[in-house]
Copies of this chain bind each other. A is one copy, B any other.
Amino acid sequence: MKFVLTIGTTETARIDGISAAGATPELMAHTPSADAEILAYGRPTNAPVVPVSPSGCPTPAVVTRAARELLGFESVVVDAGTASDTTAPTVTLPGAPGADIRTPEAVPDAEATFDAARAFGASLPDDELVLAETIPGGTTTAKGVLTALGEETGVSSSLPENPTTLKRRVVGEALEASDLSPGAAAGAPLDAVRAVGDPVLAAVSGLAVGALESGTAVTLGGGTQMSAVAALVRHFGLTDSLTQATTSFIAADDAADVRSLADALDVDLRVTAPGFEGVDHPATNAYVRGEAKEGVGMGGALALVAGSETAADVAALRDRVRDVYDRLLANAPETHPAVDGERVD
């Protein structure tokens, strides 16, 4: 098994109020790089911040890193097009940061990114890939792609109050800018990604298709962005069995159609609860309040812990989450307001 985190950015995240994957819109551009470094090294090595939401919710990379420390699984970071440099080791695909989906072409390199990801996915010797993503603004691009493909479009949010009206308006403008009507890209997944998607969707769908075609099992670790990946795989014509592993926070989100999308796309949905309700710690409290919910493969990491045959279990994970968070804070750049705020706790 290999855990493959794909990182990227899209200008769509700069639309006011669309994402909480960073304390400010400027810092959000560093979130994918920081997430990759936290997964690889346990803390940011080049990114200037520990990603937190505006209210201080720490990135789900903390949970995924904790799972990796507990189980020792191998991870690889794939860079599909990121606006901020990282010193995490990356497999760099052809591509670039995505444009605002309200422009005619959000991902001009969609095909090149997909093709390279497909070849890479097929080349790995592993029997299973767990695919994960980090891209601020990704639920909005996922909604764009699901709409263009003609699938259900309820998506989740990293914000406690999902800005669904705003997302619907942005996706409407995005389709109009690309001369697409809902469902017009059915059966043409790369057209959907190119017009209204993001580089991470191009890469993760390519990884999934390449892996499945070469006989490698695929688990999509994530929420509605991974529902969009599943839809892309199905619209590509693949009927292989496909698992999606997400968090209980996503499953409990009425705005997200993860369950009905999984049914419609013939995806085996696994939901894992981290049991954060029983903990009182800044690393976990924000999740209980409904923030973040998923990302950086958190649901996939939880499923790996819950399904592990070693001594690791979800209780051990909770302790490790606190460790990883406390280490992160001990080394956090002092200039970060939200993290400094948390330090008082």
A residues whose Cβ falls under 8 Å from a Cβ of B? 40-43, 45-46, 72, 76-77, 87-92, 120, 123-125, 331
- For the residues of A in contact with B, the DSSP-based class is loop
Selected from B40, B45, B46, B123, the residue in CB contact (under 8 A) with A45 is B123
Residues of B within 8 A of A77 (CB): 89
- The answer to whether B91 touches A124 (Cβ under 8 A) is no
Residues of B within 8 A of A46 (CB): 120, 123
Question: In the complex, what distance in Å separates the CA atom of A215 from the CA atom of B244?
Answer: 43
A213 to chain B, nearest CB (A): 15
Residues of B within 8 A of A45 (CB): 120, 123-125
- The answer to whether B87 touches A42 (Cβ under 8 A) is no
Residues of B within 8 A of A124 (CB): 41, 45
Selected from B42, B76, B87, B90, the residue in CB contact (under 8 A) with A120 is B87
- The answer to whether B89 touches A76 (Cβ under 8 A) is yes
Question: In the complex, what distance in Å separates the CA atom of A42 from the CA atom of B125?
Answer: 8
Selected from B87, B91, B125, the residue in CB contact (under 8 A) with A88 is B91
Selected from B76, B87, B89, the residue in CB contact (under 8 A) with A123 is B87
Which 8 pairs show the lowest CB-CB distances between chains A and B? A89-B89, A45-B123, A76-B89, A89-B91, A87-B120, A87-B91, A89-B90, A42-B125
Question: In the complex, what distance in Å separates the CA atom of A92 from the CA atom of B77?
Answer: 13
- The answer to whether B43 touches A125 (Cβ under 8 A) is yes
For A327, give the chain B residue with the smallest CB separation. B125
Residues of B within 8 A of A42 (CB): 125
For A331, give the chain B residue with the smallest CB separation. B125
The residue in A43, A120, A124 that gathers the most chain B C-beta atoms within 10 A of its C-beta is: A124
Residues of B within 8 A of A331 (CB): 125
**Given A41-B124, A72-B72, 16 extra CB contacts under 8 A:** A42-B125, A43-B125, A45-B123, A45-B124, A46-B120, A46-B123, A87-B91, A87-B120, A88-B89, A88-B91, A89-B89, A89-B90, A89-B91, A90-B91, A92-B92, A125-B331
A250 to chain B, nearest CB (A): 28
Residues of B within 8 A of A91 (CB): 87-90
For A46, give the chain B residue with the smallest CB separation. B123
Question: In the complex, what distance in Å separates the CA atom of A77 from the CA atom of B89?
Answer: 7
Question: In the complex, what distance in Å separates the CA atom of A323 from the CA atom of B92?
Answer: 30
